Every structure is written in C-alpha cells, then in structure tokens.
C-alpha cells in the first residue's frame, strides 16, 4: 500500500492540501478529480517530491517514499523538440545517472534497448527515430508515459495528461497509462478534469475540494452523483 497520512502543504496562510489521508493500491489506476484549485496538482507534486509537505508523510509498505520512486507525466508531455522519441525517453532516466553522463547525454546500449521496449509498451514501436514534434498530441503523450516508465518508478503520476486531446485520443492515452500501471505493478494516480474519459480503466476514484478528500471509492461503486458531488463543493 501507498499511504498518504495527514498531508498538508501550505502556501502562505492557505493550505493547498489540508490534512489529507488516502491510500493507493499497487497495480491500480486511481483517478483524482476536483474543481480547479482543489489541490490536485499540489498533491501530485508532493508525491513526486517536487514539493515538500509541511506536515504528514507518504510511505510505501511503511518506508518513506523517495523522490526517485515516483515519475510524473505532465499535461503537455514536456518533451524536447528536435529530439527523437527514443531520445526523449532516454532523457527520462538521466537525472538518476552520474553528472558526467548527464552532461554528454551518454546512454548504454542496454538503456537504449529498454527505451525501445518502453516505446513498444505504449504502442509506438515504429516511431523511435521520429522527432517528437512530428508526432500527434496523443503520440507525444505516449512518449511522455514511456519517458516516465524509463525512470523505473514505483509510483506513476500524471497531471491532467489528456487535457489537450480529443476524447477518443484521451481515452486511448488513459488506457495506455492503466496498462502500464497493471503491467509493471505500479501505484498509479492521474488527475483528470473529464472523469468520464477514465470510466473504462479507473480502478478507484479520489475527489478533492479545498485541499481535503471528499470522495474515496472503488470505481465499481461510483455513480454520476458521486462525481457531481465533488464538483459541487465550494
């Protein structure tokens, strides 16, 4: 289990995440919903180690979660134009390598083989050498997922990864995320503004309002009133 215990992150006098406790199960995709400003991004950034909580803790099987255990897929993919798909995937793991390797961008043949496998995982086997700017938005998001997987995370996070995609493409990208989570037995947490897009692949839903948890339920027990209830909170 991944345990989030009484997590608080303050910005000045405002708590963006306010004493939130929740659990994620391994191999499951949890969808995080809530109105704009509810605290979803802040929670994801605390899990990714980009923000330090003011209070509370995050543990996996009782051990503190390290920043290197989590990988975050950004809304826009955050890819480097001019680089190939496989080059972008390889860069995903660079922060974990010695500084000299980061400087010259050196990758071992084994890392390159794994990066090609990650592209295969996300349905982009034939696109390794394609510059990322010559890929569609959905394909770019798949590269972003492969890039996160290259970091060999235990926790796969995604912050509104399908916000800029049409519904059908968004669904297919979420299916790729869900597949990666179950295939690699990860803890998966994805924030979404259109929860309906995840209805086929979500295992669990968390809802936030005003930094607090207002919904925590398995997908099998969710109905539209539950979802609307989250957005009804001020």
Ligand X SMILES: Nc1ncnc2c1ncn2[C@@H]1O[C@H](COP(=O)(O)OP(=O)(O)OP(=O)(O)O)[C@@H](O)[C@H]1O
- Contacts with ligand X by CB under 6 A lie at 11, 16, 34, 36-42
Instruction: Say how many C-beta atoms besides its own lie within 10 A of residue 137's C-beta.
Output: 16
Q: How far apart are CA 198 and CA 71, in angstroms?
A: 20
Instruction: Say how many C-beta atoms besides its own lie within 10 A of residue 57's C-beta.
Output: 12
Q: Tell me how far, at minimum, the Cβ of 71 lies from ligand X, in Å.
A: 18
Indicate the residue among 152 and 164 with the shorter CB distance to ligand X.
164
Indicate the residue among 45 and 118 with the shorter CB distance to ligand X.
45
Q: How far apart are CA 111 and CA 171, in angstroms?
A: 29
Task: Using CA atoms of 224, 226, 232, 234 in order, give the dihedral in degrees to the nearest 10.
Answer: -150
Q: Tell me how far, at minimum, the Cβ of 77 lies from ligand X, in Å.
A: 16
Q: Tell me how far, at minimum, the Cβ of 42 lies from ligand X, in Å.
A: 3
Burial of 74 from C-beta contacts in 10 A (0-12 / 13-18 / 19+): middle
Q: How far apart are CA 83 and CA 129, in angstroms?
A: 9
Indicate the residue among 40 and 147 with the shorter CB distance to ligand X.
40
Indicate the residue among 80 and 163 with the shorter CB distance to ligand X.
163
Q: Tell me how far, at minimum, the Cβ of 128 lies from ligand X, in Å.
A: 32
Q: Tell me how far, at minimum, the Cβ of 2 lies from ligand X, in Å.
A: 19
Indicate the residue among 75 and 172 with the shorter CB distance to ligand X.
75
Q: Tell me how far, at minimum, the Cβ of 160 lies from ligand X, in Å.
A: 7
Q: Are 211 and 32 in contact (CB under 8 A)?
A: no
Type and span of the H or E element at 47: helix 40-48
Indicate the residue among 81 and 234 with the shorter CB distance to ligand X.
234
Q: Are 161 and 151 in contact (CB under 8 A)?
A: no
Beta partners for residue 58, in sequence order:
4
């Amino acid at each position: 289990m991944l345990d989030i215990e009484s997590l608080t992150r303050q910005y000045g006098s405002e708590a963006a995440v306010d004493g939130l406790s929740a659990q994620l199960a391994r191999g499951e995709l949890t969808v995080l919903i809530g109105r704009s400003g509810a605290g979803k991004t802040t929670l994801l950034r605390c899990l990714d180690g980009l923000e330090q909580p003011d209070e509370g803790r995050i543990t996996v099987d009782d051990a503190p979660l390290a920043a290197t255990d989590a990988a975050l897929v950004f809304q826009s993919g955050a890819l480097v134009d001019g680089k190939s798909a496989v080059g972008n995937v390889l860069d995903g793991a660079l922060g974990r390598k010695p500084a000299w390797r980061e400087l010259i961008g050196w990758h071992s043949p084994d890392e390159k083989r794994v990066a090609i496998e990650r592209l295969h995982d996300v349905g982009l086997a034939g696109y390794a050498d394609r510059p990322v700017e010559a890929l569609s938005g959905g394909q770019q998001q798949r590269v972003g997922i492969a890039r996160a997987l290259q970091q060999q995370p235990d926790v796969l996070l995604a912050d509104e990864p399908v916000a800029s995609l049409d519904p059908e493409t968004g669904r297919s990208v979420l299916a790729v995320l869900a597949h990666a989570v179950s295939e690699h037995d990860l803890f998966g947490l994805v924030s979404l503004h259109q929860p309906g897009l995840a209805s086929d692949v979500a295992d669990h839903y968390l809802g936030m309002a005003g930094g607090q948890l207002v919904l925590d339920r398995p997908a099998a027990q969710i109905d539209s009133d539950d979802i609307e209830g989250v957005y009804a909170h001020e």
